[in-house]
Structure 1
Amino acid sequence: MSDTETRGLRERELPFGFRQVAAGDKQRLVDDVFHRVARRYDLMNDLMSGGLHRAWKDAMVSWLSPPKAGRSAYRVLDVAGGTGDVAFRILNRGGPGVSVTVADINGAMLGVGAERAEKRHLDDRARFVQANAEALPFAERTHAAYTIAFGIRNVPDRAAALSEAYRVLERGGRFMCLEFAPVDLPMLKEVYDTYSFKVIPPLGRAITGDDQPYQYLVESIRTFPIPDRFAFEIEEAGFSRVSYRALSGGIAMIHSGFKV
């Protein structure tokens, strides 16, 4: 990359919640959010979704349908899943041939996940790797599935992350993304916005002593692309048979695509 290109990337601005920040600063700011809430991350998702994130994750894993029978290797890469919440669901649903590598840029989140895997006696089928979604340390065509839940909207360069997802998947491999979505149903939007902005940050402050991570996260949902636009981004990365399913009136979406 030339000096001009590097300078241009550094000077480009990206949304961090409702603020615009220098592209080179966004990852550091996102890292700080998740360092501050690592031990309460799943509680954070409970606050943001009213507990529904558990059912949504189950729905994504059900749609993925990891194989139950046989012992042939079925390797899943779960990105931005440091606490292991999705990985454990995949392992519990799949058979003995299923294994999951959890990749997360945040070491604190990974530490929580590794502890939980050991307590659940799943550490022989789950490994935890510190890695950036935009530059994964895995060879091409090494995974049967790539999952990411509530993580893609925090990645500074989505196109790079989607390109990496495509690269590491085998032919026939599947990309699945669970993410909050901007709500456009008028009555639901009003209730959802009130809950998001008036309830979640103060509740986060009451429980953790810090409302700023929660403020960022509810804002970041509003700046994420609408489902059709994100589906187009997935197709632009090379995926085929791209589709999505709405959950709970469109509060969250599961996106799916295949590398053919």
Structure 2
Amino acid sequence: MSRLIVLDLSNNNFTHSLPNSLRNLELLEILNLSGNNLISESPNPELSLITALTNCRRLKILRVDENPLNSMLPVSIGNLSTSLQRISASYCEIKGRIPNHIGNLSNLAFLGLHGNGFTGFIPTTMNKLSRLQVLDLGFNRKQGSIPNDLCLLHKLGSLDLGENDLFGPIPACLGNVTSLRELFLDSNRLTSKIPTNLFSLEDILYLNLSSNSLNGSIPSEIGTLKAAIQIGLSLNSFSGNILSTIGGLQTLINLSLAHNNQSFFGT
């Protein structure tokens, strides 16, 4: 089927290993294998499918979510087609580090790697993904601090780094990414105060900073988040009064301040 452009085998019960013969589909633009029981070829610890697909120079969408791949991303991920716009590989039991070579995918708009076992630092080379709109690394085991390099992704609409092992302060420069509508940094080991620059995100809809070790008072600038629907600040070490400026958040549906050191009434 060498002229095949779209191959969608999603949500079946296919088993066994991913065929490297997919390399022969040189005209392939969309590959969707999500929702099966496919595994990576053994005994190779790396996801050999990625290397096979480097031969598909027109590939735009790659989806392998919800397969027990139990492998690692090879450095050859940086050799995938520069036409690639979407990689979805959530809940695939992928482990190890995210290769720095991922920064070569200059047209990538969606990178979904939620619910795997990734470790190591977030690659600073992600600052080269200037077209990225969604970055989901949530529910992994990523370590280190949140790199300032992510602040260079000026088209980013959704950033999920929740449920990892990240530490250090929240980069103040995230407030410069005014395209952000969703920011999830919950369930990490983040410390220090909330940078007031974060409240420059006037169009943000969802902000979750819960379950960290953030401290200090909640800045009065929180009242500028007029579009916010949900704000999660629970399970931190915030102190001081709850600010009356929160009352100006007319679109707010859910606000969580539980398990802090806040007074119930502020001025």
**TM-score, normalising length: structure 2:** 0.23
Higher relative contact order (CA 8 A, sep 6+): 1
Larger radius of gyration: 2
Higher fraction of helix: 1
**TM-score, normalising length: structure 1:** 0.23
